[in-house]
Chains A and B, each alone.
Chain A
Amino acid sequence: DAGITQSPRHKVTETGTPVTLRCHQTENHRYMYWYRQDPGHGLRLIHYSYGVKDTDKGEVSDGYSVSRSKTEDFLLTLESATSSQTSVYFCAIRGRENQPQHFGDGTRLSIL
């Protein structure tokens, strides 16, 4: 295992509520990523981080924000959840350039 923990693993919430997902790593890797997985779309990048307080948008960033105040933690926040954000969310980490990304076990989020 690559030392990645996602929490919670499952969450059910209502439309309009805020939601925060946490990714914690023990590898001291510089790069961290948030993806969402939906049927027929594969995985799509939401946001990524290349260091503490350094983040950037991916291809599906609308409705999401992120924060990285420590190397080991990368938080994904849905400020006001919508049903279209029901998905499985994966965190990934990467060390040096040319190295592959390693993925956590995912968070299954349902928004009713």
Chain B
Amino acid sequence: AQSVTQLDSQVPVFEEAPVELRCNYSSSVSVYLFWYVQYPNQGLQLLLKYLSGSTLVKGINGFEAEFNKSQTSFHLRKPSVHISDTAEYFCAVSPLTGANNLFFGTGTRLTVIP
């Protein structure tokens, strides 16, 4: 079974400040890891993914995430946020086999304050 925990439901941060959104997961099998972003009244857009290889993954809009297998974490970071980054962010895992179903965390709402 898989589960994903996003430790912060809301993160307020000032414009141009750095941000980290935390994600921990639990799984009995190896998984792929994903971060998705959801802007108001829209669907989910893929930010970045970890399938294998380098544990530091770069995504769109200046975001990056680091896979830490020993701590089962996949935290999302951005060195300097913009107002346009205000959105809800979802961490998700997918088993390597089968239909690759996604298991999502409950989301973190990032609010960038001018």
Q: Give A contacts to B, CB under 8 Å.
A: 31, 33, 35, 40-45, 48, 50, 56, 58, 90, 92, 94, 97-98, 100-106
Contact = CB atoms under 8 A, between A and B. Distances in A.
Interface of B: 4, 32, 34, 36, 42-46, 49, 51, 90, 92, 99-107
A106 B34 contact: no
Contact of B102 (A40, A43, A50, A97): A43
A43 B104 contact: yes
B34 A42 contact: no
B29 to A, nearest CB: 15
Nearest to B102: A101
Given A42-B90, A42-B105, A42-B107, A50 B99 contact: yes
B39 to A, nearest CB: 11
Nearest to B45: A103
Contacts, number: 51
Given A44-B104, A90-B43, A100 B49 contact: yes
Interface of B is mostly: strand
Contacts of A31: 99-100
Contact of A103 (B4, B44, B51): B44
Contact of A45 (B45, B51, B90, B102): B102
Contacts of A41: 106
A90 B90 CA distance: 14
Nearest to A38: B106
A102 B104 CA distance: 14
16 contacts: A35-B102, A40-B106, A41-B106, A42-B106, A42-B107, A43-B44, A43-B92, A43-B104, A45-B102, A58-B101, A92-B44, A100-B34, A100-B46, A101-B102, A103-B43, A103-B45
Given A42-B90, A48-B99, A90 B44 contact: yes
A22 to B, nearest CB: 15
Contacts of B104: 42-44
| Residue in B36, B101, B104, B106 with the greatest tally of chain A CB atoms within 10 Å | B101
A84 to B, nearest CB: 18
